[in-house]
């Protein structure tokens, strides 16, 4: 057990920042922004420290903190870091400050904005680091309230309704998640993820739940599944996403798509799969279809959007569904011949990489849309622009990298993740990989269309008049993101090295002797 | 056997004090007080009367115990307690009358009140049928006069007339019943009657006699269906008279009839657990109790007049007290006595508040009480205590009265028996009762006073009487054992 | 612990003193009331500090009261009582703080309030069923007057309905208690003695006795469909009364169910268990759905109270130690949360805007004018939704765990209730504080037609009360074993164990 509570600091320093902002009502706007930025950057610093302390060779939890907390409910304060969490913590550490910088020109009540954002950041980090359901659920649910207010108070015209739908939908899923865990606690007496993973692996959990009889064991699985499915979101539980992402202000959209959607995938990987390998396997084929639905229909829906922000929102559904596609393919193939550890490892590595890479590219894309919207005085239809490349070449260059990364162009980071996923899924469920190619196709179509209509051709629409190029602030946001996209495209092992042992151990456990 | 006149006289000392007091009041009013104002004459008469009552009370407390004059009277714990209770209630009534508008003949009023008290006190101790009738008639006739005393209002005369007509008929029933009992059992003394009935068993003639007695009982206690006089008398009579009718007369009446029914006709009671088809007088009493409960509580809901509401609630309470009568055979009279005496206290208090309020304006309808908390906080506070005691809210005595009576009733035959079922009915109806009692309190404590409503000045004596009544209700509520333990 | 009976006496003394002080000056009456409430609360906290948890009731006072009926003046407490006593003290103190602005008949207000509090303390301390009943009834009359005199919407009707429903419930309880007592041939009214007496009745009679006592108490707890008095009454009540009524007095009903009804007849409980569980979960969802459609903010809160009490009743119905401990925890949690919600709605918003209808509130930019109230309402809303980090979450989790063991179908329906709670709470938060941002926005000059430029600032008393309650819900949300360590041993008592076995599937 770690003596220095590094992980607790990671989670709580942003919250301390939020508290500070709350207690200083008369702080002026510039100071508020700087303060919020400092505390947000603290995560980057602390995550870097964690990275330094991280032992890439081991597969268990590191920097563990485990203290007694609520004896009556057998709850311990348990935090831990493994490859999966490290990737996501790093993603949050990068995207959070980027989102804040993206909101730097937010005029309305920057103190409240910063306060809420820091709360959101801390909660997201908590989700990735907590290892006991009690405080994990605290972080999971607490992330909703700042998100609600961030969307509602600083969002577009339909923000109130979008925010309400978003929270109620997610809390609905959480209600069933809660029910599922209540049942799990009733059956096993523990809420600790690590312990429950053991019980899931050796079949004890399944046996204890089976004693309920009837369809209740499946109901428990379904409850936990729903909680995560809504969050990702998995088709068909995704209808809350387009309005929420579209109405949210730019910085918030970046964080939502970059980090919060990953919370759902994290839940699948950390909780649903280890605890319910059997039921997941039994349901894997229908679930594969759902994931495919997200991939294909998400991309096709994006094709049909004229609102650029909605387009990227649907594209997010598409990209995140790839992660789940890989997971469900692995689960579907478990226990059958044809499951090779290479294919499984590829699929799972692809999932983790895709999470990180999509976070970067989607956030960058949202920022670009936001910039377009700001330049055009609030319009963001695909037909409102033309020839932006001519008007703002630097911006076009940066946006282009982000777009191609999202497309999956080889040489950029997006390619590696998608390639690994496809390679893995092809080995596990070829029909699914084939169907998913449709999604790839559609993605290419809408992204290239976007590029062509907005950036190419003669200057038109908002770009016809005054269209300033990317300024310092824009480069401060896009620059690091694009740089990472380029670096990770060429050197993906920087990322994969963090979690390869973990993936390998997962894959090995799946393959039958 | 030599008749023990000395013993009789010493046992009857309370009655003697009262009579002497009445005569003294009449005499003094005729001579010494003649020249003074009506108000002064009333107050002086009340003072003398109070002295007489106090003396009677002391004598009852300290006096003889046990059978008197060969069993004509009995001074058992019930009798002594009832006598003291009646005298206390009379004293409180006199205190309440202090604040009333003076009558044209104040001396006569007090004197008749004392005569009524005499009859009531004698009723509590009577054990021989002729004495019973004598005491009952003395009390009743006095009460008729008291009811009609206010010659300025036609309602008073109407009340007196109705009371007299009903009462006279009831007396006739009673006398006829008594004569039948004598014919059947050959004795007019209750112990011997009881012995004879135990030997003879019930015969149809005896049952007829019992029914007649029950009719008289029902009238006296204002139980349905013999209750028709009650609303008019409560409404028409002057407030102090109504107070006496409602409190002391009820207590004495229930004591008398409990004694008649249980030690007297107890053998013919029938099985307490049997249902209505059973023999004996218990089923009849159960029917009357049920009818009173229903009619009283539901009738009170519709009343807009405060006094009529109190009358109907009195009918309902009579039903509950009849439950106590039914249970008295097995559990003793403690529950009934507690209920009746605390009910009397609350009723005297309620009428006392009405009396005081009438000085400052009309107090007919419930809405006339509006804003009482502002017009007189003292009256409002006391009224709250009295009404809540009637409603049966702890820690006031009314709650414990109901509790002990219901517990005794349920103990009779379990909840399935008629007494248990009636107890359940009574409990359910108490929720209905709370509604109309709260209506009264709502006017008194919540509503704002009407524009022309003036402050009510309460004379100190009346205030003392009301506070004493309220205090006793609270005291007996917190320590029910004080009264229950007497038996 | 032996100081606990003084909570009753201190409150009664304070009631008298407030009444007297009120005739002198309003300020004196307020301070008297505050000191009394705080003193009584301190006594409960002192007792809590020295409390040694154990299975049985620890006797605090015991002397004969009505020997002819076997009724004893028997006060005792265990972990469950202690939890609720601390809650009462907290909500009472906060209630006084939130009533600081009452100007009309101030002394009488605080006097009635403290009598109510004394009655509530008495119920939680009683170890004799009839004594409990007497204290329970003592609490009814002050409720009526508090609402009828100082209340708002439809107050006379609301007050009467509340009083009559409470009284009718208690009448049913009395009937049941007397029935059991009579069967025991005068054994007395202690809980164990009544249970023994009831055990001699036939099966059908036991079922009837249990029904009378349980549903009589459950009426006050707001069980569906006997709950309609609650929203009407709580909406009509003045703020402090609503806080106490929804926060504590409804718990009297649940406490009566737990302490008196459950041990009385395990057989009867086993028979009624499915019905009670279904009624509870129907209440959770139904009340939540009704809350979703309300146009008056206070009605939303009123119905949300019924919904939360449904969780308590579900916990009791599940009849295992886990669920019942969750139920008691939820009693505490909801007491605090309801107090907070009514305080914001009644005192912070209504006393300033004089309207609670969403149609009016949405025109007023309340989040700007009353930022403290907005923040507190959001926190209270989060707690009410059962968001983790606040006391509602461990309570609902524990209830769901226990309910799952008793019947997964009930737990599933209850989980739906969590979802509905999120929906109506968010709607209420939006429409009350933040809705002014929709529609024509005052962006640079255009003002809404009905201008509200400023509202009276939040007073120190309100802030103190709010912080007390928020602190309590956060504390228990993060460290629920502070209370669970008291509650769980108390559930090991033989009486409750017998009830669980008789009722456990």
Rounded Cα distance, B423 and C262, in Å? 24
Q: So what's the pLDDT on residue A505?
A: 84
- pLDDT value at C420 more than 70: yes
Among residues of chain A, what percentage have pLDDT more than 70? Answer: 98
Q: What is the DSSP letter of B40?
A: H
* C74 three-class SS: strand
pLDDT band with cut points at 50, 70 and 90 for residue A319: very high
**Helices B106-125 and B13-30: angle between axes, nearest 10 degrees:** 170
Query: Which tokens in the block code for residue A439?
Result: 């999604």
Residues in Cβ contact with A4 at an 8 Å cutoff, skipping those fewer than 6 apart: none
pLDDT band with cut points at 50, 70 and 90 for residue C477: very high
Mean pLDDT of chain B: 88
Range C320-343 average pLDDT: 93
- pLDDT value at C442 more than 50: no
In angstroms, how far apart are the furthest CA atoms of chain A? 71
pLDDT band with cut points at 50, 70 and 90 for residue A1: low
A186 in contact with chain C, both atoms CB, cutoff 8 A: yes
Say how many CA atoms lie within 13 Å of B410 toward its Cβ.
25
Of B334, B406, B438, the CB nearest to C144: B438
Nearest C-alpha of chain B: how many angstroms from C27?
A: 21
Backbone angles phi, psi at A385, to 5 degrees: -130, 165
pLDDT band with cut points at 50, 70 and 90 for residue C505: very low
3+ Cβ–Cβ pairs closer than 8 Å linking A and C: yes
Q: What is the DSSP letter of C391?
A: T
Q: So what's the pLDDT on residue B274?
A: 54
Say how many CA atoms lie within 13 Å of B339 toward its Cβ.
31
What was the ipTM of the complex prediction?
A: 0.88
Q: So what's the pLDDT on residue C52?
A: 86
* C444 three-class SS: coil
CB contact under 8 A, B415 and C179: yes
pLDDT band with cut points at 50, 70 and 90 for residue C449: very low
- pLDDT value at B201 more than 80: no
- pLDDT value at C446 more than 60: no
Q: H or E segment at C75?
A: strand C71-77
**C180-206 pLDDT tens trace:** 888 887 678 888 888 888 888 888 889
A76 in contact with chain C, both atoms CB, cutoff 8 A: no
A223 in contact with chain C, both atoms CB, cutoff 8 A: yes
- pLDDT value at C473 more than 90: yes
- pLDDT value at B135 more than 70: yes
**B65-82 pLDDT tens trace:** 888 887 888 888 899 999
Among residues of chain A, what percentage have pLDDT more than 90? Answer: 35
In angstroms, how far apart are the furthest CA atoms of chain B? 73
Rounded Cα distance, B217 and B214, in Å? 5
Rounded Cα distance, C400 and C11, in Å? 37
**C134-155 pLDDT tens trace:** 999 999 999 999 999 998 878 8
* B245 three-class SS: helix
Range C388-399 average pLDDT: 92
pLDDT band with cut points at 50, 70 and 90 for residue A189: confident
Range C315-319 average pLDDT: 92
**A462-512 pLDDT tens trace:** 777 778 787 888 888 888 899 998 898 888 888 888 888 888 888 877 764
Q: So what's the pLDDT on residue B275?
A: 54
CB contact under 8 A, B403 and C68: no
- pLDDT value at B202 more than 80: no
Query: Which tokens in the block code for residue A44?
Result: 């980057």
Q: So what's the pLDDT on residue A338?
A: 66
**A150-170 pLDDT tens trace:** 998 888 888 888 999 999 899
Nearest C-alpha of chain C: how many angstroms from A68?
A: 11
Rounded Cα distance, C51 and A479, in Å? 62
C67 in contact with chain B, both atoms CB, cutoff 8 A: yes
Q: How far apart are the first and last CA of chain B?
A: 32
Say how many CA atoms lie within 13 Å of B209 toward its Cβ.
24
Q: Which range scores top for mean pLDDT: A16-20, B283-287, C63-67?
A: A16-20
Residues in Cβ contact with B91 at an 8 Å cutoff, skipping those fewer than 6 apart: B50, B53, B54, B57, B465
Q: So what's the pLDDT on residue A513?
A: 43
CB contact under 8 A, C164 and B410: no
**Residue tagged 């020295």 (tokens):** C50
Helix %, strand %, coil % of chain C (to 5):
75, 5, 20
A77 in contact with chain C, both atoms CB, cutoff 8 A: no
Do the beta carbons of residue C392 and residue C386 sit within 8 Å? yes
**Helices A29-53 and A6-23: angle between axes, nearest 10 degrees:** 180
Nearest C-alpha of chain B: how many angstroms from C182?
A: 5
pLDDT band with cut points at 50, 70 and 90 for residue C444: very low
- pLDDT value at B340 more than 70: yes
Range A112-123 average pLDDT: 93
Query: Which tokens in the block code for residue A55?
Result: 């032992």
Among residues of chain C, what percentage have pLDDT more than 90? Answer: 58
Mean pLDDT of chain A: 88
Residues in Cβ contact with B382 at an 8 Å cutoff, skipping those fewer than 6 apart: B349, B352, B353, B466, B467, B469, B470
Strands (E), C67-128: 71-77
Do the beta carbons of residue A303 and residue A400 sit within 8 Å? no
- pLDDT value at C504 more than 70: no
Range C64-76 average pLDDT: 88
Q: So what's the pLDDT on residue C447?
A: 38
Length reported for chain C: 505
Residues in Cβ contact with B395 at an 8 Å cutoff, skipping those fewer than 6 apart: B474, B477, B478, C134, C138
Rounded to the nearest 10°, the torsion over CA C311, C312, C317, C322 is: 100
Nearest CA in chain A to C379: A145
Rounded Cα distance, B233 and B241, in Å? 9
pLDDT band with cut points at 50, 70 and 90 for residue B205: confident
- pLDDT value at B389 more than 60: yes
Helix %, strand %, coil % of chain B (to 5):
75, 0, 20
Do the beta carbons of residue C244 and residue C117 sit within 8 Å? yes
Omega cis (within 30) before C219: no
Range C78-102 average pLDDT: 92
Neighbours of B457 (CB within 10 A): 12
C400 in contact with chain A, both atoms CB, cutoff 8 A: yes
Residues in Cβ contact with C63 at an 8 Å cutoff, skipping those fewer than 6 apart: C72, C73
Q: So what's the pLDDT on residue C450?
A: 53
pTM: 0.89
**C104-135 pLDDT tens trace:** 889 999 999 999 999 999 999 999 999 999 99
Do the beta carbons of residue C404 and residue C283 sit within 8 Å? no
Query: Which tokens in the block code for residue A139?
Result: 């972080």
Range A371-386 average pLDDT: 84
Q: So what's the pLDDT on residue B1?
A: 58
Of C68, C163, C205, the CB nearest to B334: C68
Q: How far apart are the first and last CA of chain C?
A: 36
Rounded Cα distance, C360 and C328, in Å? 38
Q: Which of B96, B73, B84 is nearest to B12 (CA)?
A: B73
**Cα–Cα–Cα angle for B143, B144, B146, rounded to 5 degrees:** 60
Mean pLDDT of chain C: 89
Q: Which residues of chain C lie closer than 8 angstroms to B293, CB-CB?
A: none
Neighbours of C424 (CB within 10 A): 26
Nearest C-alpha of chain A: how many angstroms from C482?
A: 9
CB contact under 8 A, C182 and B435: no
Identify from C66, C180, C181 which residue to disrupt to test chain B contact, counting B C-beta atoms within 10 A and taking the largest count: C66
Omega cis (within 30) before B453: no
C168 in contact with chain B, both atoms CB, cutoff 8 A: yes
Rounded Cα distance, A14 and A43, in Å? 8
Cα–Cα distance list, A483 to A174, A414, C167 (Å) = 37, 13, 74
C299 in contact with chain A, both atoms CB, cutoff 8 A: no
Query: Which tokens in the block code for residue A51?
Result: 């990275």
Omega cis (within 30) before C225: yes
Range B436-441 average pLDDT: 93
């Amino acid at each position: 057990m770690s003596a220095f509570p590094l992980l607790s600091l990671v989670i709580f320093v942003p919250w301390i920042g939020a508290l500070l902002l709350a207690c200083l009502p008369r702080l002026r706007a510039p100071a508020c922004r700087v303060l919020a930025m400092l505390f947000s950057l603290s995560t980057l610093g602390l995550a870097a420290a964690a990275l330094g302390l991280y032992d890439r060779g081991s597969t268990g939890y590191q920097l563990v903190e485990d203290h007694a907390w609520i004896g009556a409910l057998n709850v311990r304060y348990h935090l831990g870091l493994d490859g999966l969490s490290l990737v996501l913590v790093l993603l949050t550490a990068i995207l959070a400050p980027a989102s804040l910088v993206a909101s730097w020109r937010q005029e309305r009540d920057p103190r409240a904005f910063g306060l809420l954002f820091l709360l959101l950041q801390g909660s997201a980090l908590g989700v990735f680091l907590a290892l006991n359901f009690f405080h994990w659920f605290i972080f999971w649910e607490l992330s909703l309230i700042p998100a609600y207010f961030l969307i509602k108070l600083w969002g577009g015209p339909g923000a109130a309704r979008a925010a309400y739908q978003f929270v109620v939908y997610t809390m609905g899923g959480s209600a069933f998640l809660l029910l599922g865990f209540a049942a799990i606690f009733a059956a096993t007496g523990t809420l600790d993820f690590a312990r429950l993973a053991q019980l899931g692996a050796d079949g004890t959990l399944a046996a204890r739940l089976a004693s309920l009889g009837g369809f209740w064991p499946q109901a428990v699985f379904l409850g936990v599944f729903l909680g995560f499915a809504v969050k990702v979101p998995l088709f068909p539980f995704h209808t809350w996403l387009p309005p929420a992402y579209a109405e949210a202000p730019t910085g918030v959209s970046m964080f939502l798509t970059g980090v919060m959607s990953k919370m759902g995938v994290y839940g699948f990987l950390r909780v649903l799969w280890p605890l319910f390998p059997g039921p997941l396997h039994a349901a894997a084929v229908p679930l594969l279809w759902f994931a495919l639905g997200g991939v294909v229909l998400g991309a096709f829906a994006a094709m049909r959007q004229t609102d650029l922000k909605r387009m990227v929102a649907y594209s997010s559904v598409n990209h995140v569904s790839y992660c789940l596609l890989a997971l469900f393919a692995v689960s579907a193939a478990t226990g059958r011949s044809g499951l090779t550890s290479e294919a499984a490892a590829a699929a799972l590595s692809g999932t983790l990489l895709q999470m990180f890479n999509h976070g970067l590219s989607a956030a960058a894309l949202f920022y670009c849309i936001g910039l377009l919207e700001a330049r055009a005085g609030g319009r963001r239809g695909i037909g409102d622009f033309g020839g932006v490349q001519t008007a703002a070449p630097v911006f076009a260059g940066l946006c282009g990298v982000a777009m191609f990364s999202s497309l999956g162009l080889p040489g950029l980071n997006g390619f590696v993740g998608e390639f690994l996923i496809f390679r893995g899924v092809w080995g596990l469920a070829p029909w699914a990989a084939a169907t998913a190619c449709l999604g790839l196709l559609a993605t290419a179509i809408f992204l290239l269309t976007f590029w062509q209509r907005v950036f190419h051709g003669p200057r038109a629409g908002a770009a016809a008049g005054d269209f300033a190029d990317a300024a310092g602030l824009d480069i401060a946001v896009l620059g690091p993101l694009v740089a990472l996209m380029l670096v990770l495209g060429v050197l993906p092992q920087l990322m994969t090295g963090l979690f390869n042992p973990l993936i390998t151990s997962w894959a090995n456990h799946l393959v039958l002797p | 056997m030599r008749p023990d006149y000395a013993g009789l006289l010493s046992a009857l000392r309370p009655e003697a004090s009262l009579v002497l007091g009445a005569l003294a009041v009449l005499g003094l009013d005729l001579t010494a007080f003649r020249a003074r104002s009506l108000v002064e004459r009333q107050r002086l008469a009340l003072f003398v009367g109070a002295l007489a009552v106090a003396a009677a009370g002391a004598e009852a407390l300290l006096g003889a115990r046990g059978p008197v004059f060969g069993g004509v009277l009995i001074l058992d714990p019930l009798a002594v307690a009832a006598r003291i209770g009646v005298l206390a209630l009379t004293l409180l009534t006199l205190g309440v009358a202090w604040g009333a508008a003076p009558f044209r003949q104040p001396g006569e009023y007090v004197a008749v009140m004392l005569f009524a008290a005499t009859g009531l006190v004698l009723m509590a101790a009577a054990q021989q049928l002729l004495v019973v009738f004598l005491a009952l008639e003395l009390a009743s006739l006095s009460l008729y006069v008291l009811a009609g005393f206010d010659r300025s209002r036609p309602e008073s005369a109407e009340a007196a007339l109705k009371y007299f007509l009903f009462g006279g008929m009831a007396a006739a029933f009673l006398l006829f019943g008594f004569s039948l009992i004598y014919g059947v059992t050959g004795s007019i003394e209750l112990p011997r009657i009881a012995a004879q009935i135990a030997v003879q068993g019930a015969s149809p003639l005896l049952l007829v006699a019992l029914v007649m007695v029950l009719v008289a009982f029902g009238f006296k206690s204002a139980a349905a269906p013999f209750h028709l006089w009650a609303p008019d008398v409560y409404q028409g009579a002057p407030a102090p008279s109504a107070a006496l009718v409602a409190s002391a007369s009820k207590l004495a009446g229930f004591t008398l009839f409990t004694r008649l029914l249980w030690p007297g006709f107890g053998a013919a009671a029938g099985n307490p657990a049997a249902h209505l088809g059973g023999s004996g007088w218990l089923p009849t009493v159960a029917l009357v109790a049920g009818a009173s409960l229903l009619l009283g509580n539901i009738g009170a809901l519709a009343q807009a007049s405060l006094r009529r509401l109190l009358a109907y609630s009195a009918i309902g309470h009579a039903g509950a007290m009849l439950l106590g009568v039914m249970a008295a055979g097995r559990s003793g009279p403690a529950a009934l006595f507690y209920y009746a005496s605390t009910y009397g206290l609350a009723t005297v208090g309620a009428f006392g508040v009405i009396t005081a309020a009438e000085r400052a304006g009309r107090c007919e309808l419930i809405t006339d009480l509006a804003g009482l908390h502002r017009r007189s906080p003292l009256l409002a506070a006391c009224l709250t205590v009295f009404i809540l005691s009637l409603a049966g809210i702890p820690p006031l005595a009314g709650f414990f009265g109901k509790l002990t009576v219901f517990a005794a009733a349920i103990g009779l035959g379990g909840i399935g028996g008629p007494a248990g079922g009636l107890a359940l009915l009574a409990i359910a109806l108490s929720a209905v009762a709370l509604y109309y009692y709260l209506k009264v309190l709502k006017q008194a404590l919540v509503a704002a006073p009407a524009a022309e409503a003036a402050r009510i000045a309460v004379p100190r004596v009346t205030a003392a009487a009301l506070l004493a009544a309220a205090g006793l209700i609270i005291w007996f509520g917190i320590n029910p054992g004080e009264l229950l333990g007497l038996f | 612990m032996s100081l606990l009976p003084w909570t009753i006496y201190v409150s009664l003394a304070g009631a008298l003193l407030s009444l007297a002080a009120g005739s002198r000056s309003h300020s004196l009456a307020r301070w008297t009331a505050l000191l009394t409430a705080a003193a009584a609360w301190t006594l409960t906290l002192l007792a809590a500090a020295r409390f040694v948890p154990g299975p049985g009731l620890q006797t605090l006072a015991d002397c004969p009261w009505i020997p002819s009926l076997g009724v004893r003046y028997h006060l005792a407490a265990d972990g469950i009582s202690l939890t609720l006593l601390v809650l009462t003290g907290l909500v009472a103190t906060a209630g006084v703080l939130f009533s600081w602005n009452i100007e009309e008949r101030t002394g009488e207000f605080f006097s009635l309030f403290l009598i109510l509090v004394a009655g509530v303390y008495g119920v939680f301390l009683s170890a004799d069923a009839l004594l409990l009943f007497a204290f329970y009834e003592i609490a009814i009359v002050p409720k009526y007057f508090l609402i009828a005199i100082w209340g708002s919407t439809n107050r006379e009707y609301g007050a009467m309905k509340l009083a009559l429903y409470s009284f009718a419930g208690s009448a049913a309880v009395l009937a049941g208690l007397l029935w059991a007592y009579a069967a025991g041939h005068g054994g007395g009214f202690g809980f164990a003695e009544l249970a023994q007496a009831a055990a001699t009745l036939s099966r059908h009679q036991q079922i009837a006795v249990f029904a009378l006592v349980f549903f009589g108490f459950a009426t006050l707890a707001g069980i569906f469909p006997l709950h309609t008095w609650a929203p009407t009454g709580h909406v009509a009540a003045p703020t402090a009364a609503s806080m106490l009524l929804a926060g504590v007095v409804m718990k009297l009903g649940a406490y009566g169910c737990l302490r008196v009804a459950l041990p009385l007849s395990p057989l009867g409980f086993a028979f009624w268990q499915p019905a009670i569980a279904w009624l509870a979960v129907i209440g959770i969802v139904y009340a939540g759905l009704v809350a979703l459609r309300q146009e008056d903010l206070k009605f939303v809160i009123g119905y949300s109270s019924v919904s939360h009490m449904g969780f308590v009743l579900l916990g009791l119905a599940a009849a295992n130690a886990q669920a019942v401990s969750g139920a008691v925890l939820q009693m505490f949690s909801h007491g605090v949360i309801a107090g907070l919600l009514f305080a914001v709605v009644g005192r912070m918003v209504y006393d300033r805007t004089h309207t609670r209808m969403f149609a009016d509130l949405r025109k007023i930019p309340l989040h700007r004018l009353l930022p403290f109230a907005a923040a507190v309402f959001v926190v209270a809303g989060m707690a009410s939704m059962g968001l983790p980090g606040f006391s509602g979450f461990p309570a609902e989790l524990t209830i769901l765990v226990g309910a799952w063991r008793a019947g997964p179908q009930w737990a599933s329906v209850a989980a739906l209730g969590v979802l509905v709670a999120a929906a109506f709470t968010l709607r209420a938060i939006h429409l009350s504080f933040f809705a002014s941002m929709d529609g024509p926005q005052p962006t640079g000059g255009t003002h809404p037609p009905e201008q509200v430029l400023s509202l009276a600032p939040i007073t120190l008393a309100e802030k103190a009360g709010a912080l007390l309650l928020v602190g309590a819900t956060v504390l228990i949300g993060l460290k629920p074993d502070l209370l669970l360590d008291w509650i769980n041993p108390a559930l090991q008592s033989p009486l409750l164990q017998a009830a669980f076995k008789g009722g456990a599937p």
